[in-house]
Amino acid sequence: MSKSSETLNQFSVIETDRIIEMAWEDRTPFEAIDFQFGLSEMKTVALMRKNLKRSSFNLWRKRTHSGVSQKHLAKREKGINRFKCTLQRSISMNKISKRR
């Protein structure tokens, strides 16, 4: 097994689902995924390729490289300078605590 495969297999099903969810969100940059899970953009792409159907992966890739997506911090508006919603208190062990 390659080192890259080992990295992708280290995540639980719940963590993998969360990474996929974050990757699909237009406003969540790759840097946020790297910050929370330690996955670079290249490794996130590999995880998506491994876990999505081919057509879903192609649709996602097309979306992340279009003008619609803000997946890269460099493409974001200058006023957006945070990774998380203001309603979130903290992200801890992949659990998001929200206001009650």
Confidence (pTM): 0.66
Using alpha carbons, list the distances in angstroms from residue 74 to 21, 23, 80.
21, 16, 11
**Percent of the chain scored above 70 by pLDDT?**
58
Question: What pLDDT digit, counting tens, does each position of 28-75 carry?
Answer: 889 899 999 999 999 999 999 999 999 999 999 988 877 655 666 665
Domains of the chain: which residue ranges? 3-98
Q: Tokens for 42, please give them.
A: 């290249």
The string of DSSP codes covering 17-42 is HHHHHHHH-TTS-HHHHHHHH---HH
